[in-house]
Amino acid sequence: MSKKSSKIGVIGSSDAVLAFRTLGMVVRPVRSPQQAMLAVHRLVQEGVPLIFVTEDIAKDLSETFAQYASDPTVTLIPLPGVHGSDGLGMQRVRKNVEKAVGADILFNDTED
């Protein structure tokens, strides 16, 4: 196999991340945004290109997200945690649409 296979990282509160460990992902339970930030940087340094972050943690990590936003080799994705989604993920999608098209055209016509 010529392509290198790489691991998937998950960062979040400990009750949420345990489930991801059963899938064989690299799991970093964190308690504070600082810890999460460090965990993200460390995982990136270890060469983990795909990192999921639970939304409760991700909402305080907007700087870190922005830092890796334009890097095509590192993908940070917020995921809903145990308590369901607080809309952060959808908000990101919506922001993309607004940035690209100038207006929120997508959600107006699908949700009405």
Partner 1 sequence: MATLRVNPTRMELTRIKRRLVTAKRGHKLLKDKRDALVRRFIALVRENAALRRRVEESLPQALRRFALASAVMEGTALEGALLYPARKAEVFIGTKNILSVRVPTVSLNEEGLGDTVRPYGYAETSVELDEAISTMADLLPDLLKLAEVEKSCNLLADEIEKTRRRVNALEYVMIPQFEETIRVISMKLDENERSSVVRLMKVKEMISQEAEQ
Binding footprint of partner 1 on the chain (CB under 8 A) = 1, 3-8, 15-16, 18-25, 49-50, 52, 69-70, 72-73, 75, 77, 79-85, 89-90, 92-93, 96-97, 99-101, 105-107, 110
Task: Measure the CA–CA gap between 17 and 2, rounded to whole angstroms.
Answer: 31
17: exposed, middle or buried (Cβ count in 10 Å: 0-12, 13-18, 19+): buried
CB of 3 vs partner 1, minimal distance in Å: 5
CB of 105 vs partner 1, minimal distance in Å: 8
Task: Measure the CA–CA gap between 39 and 62, rounded to whole angstroms.
Answer: 14
CB of 76 vs partner 1, minimal distance in Å: 8
